[in-house]
Amino acid sequence: MRVAELSRRSGVPVPTIKYYLREGLLQPGELTSPNQARYGDEHVRRLKLVRALLDVGGLSVAAVRDVLETMANPGKSMFKVLGTVQHNLAGHVPAAEGEHHETASRIAHELVERHGWQIKPNSPPLDSLIASLGTLIELHGEDLLELLDAYADASQRIAAFDIDYTRRGTDRGDAVERMVIGTVVGDAILSALRRLAHENEAARRLHSG
């Protein structure tokens, strides 16, 4: 197909496709003349993956290039690829070194240890957790922290499902796409479900007196 058709089928505008080609995010098509190239289904799929990484995952162009290179390297295991994506996924707040940073950091590390989790010291979500805990302590004291273990247990159960699901990808590209979409859209779905579950729980207890 020509670039116009590629644009129509992928929903990505032609100038954006050309930009991805220049940045190495999209493999070149087969040249049919010095100014024209032919594209295939693999280009449609790649565009879908790139959009998922950029728009849904919030990765930078450099990070997307990094992920694509890791994916293309047969020496890298699937978990290595997923690790590279996970590390770059947006949604983490850098830990402000606020008043409660030290306390929050201690609580986060104790939680990780208590649950026997294997986490790298520079893991971005660990920073996010510390930042959120700092906010919690600042707003309400350490009181609400009692809920942490319940949250961690629930997260662990969910993560096992997520990883099983990711591994069922038909190939590396599919698995990466599943992980990005599952992680990012999954956050929004979990947030909505928790609020619905609050509503249900409150309604149930209200009616039972």
Tell me which residues in 57-116 interact with a copy of itself (CB under 8 A): 77, 79-80, 82-83, 86, 89, 91-93, 112, 115
Q: From the CB of 124, what's the least distance to a copy of itself, in Å?
A: 8
- Taking CB under 8 A as the binding criterion, the range among 12-20, 31-39, 65-73, 143-151 that sits at the site for a copy of itself is 143-151
Instruction: Assess 37 for contact with a copy of itself (CB under 8 A).
Output: no
Alpha carbon 181 to its chain's center = 7
Q: From the CB of 85, what's the least distance to a copy of itself, in Å?
A: 10
Judge contact between 20 and 26, C-beta under 8 A: yes
**d(Cα 64, Cα 88) in Å, to the nearest integer?**
9
Scan residues 158-187 and list those touching a copy of itself (CB under 8 A): 158-163, 165, 177-178, 181-183, 185-187
Long-range CB pairs of 121-125 (<8 Å, 24+ gap) are 123/87, 124/87, 124/89, 124/92, 125/92
- Taking CB under 8 A as the binding criterion, the range among 1-9, 20-28, 32-40, 193-201 that sits at the site for a copy of itself is 193-201
At 30, give phi and psi (nearest 5°).
-85, 120
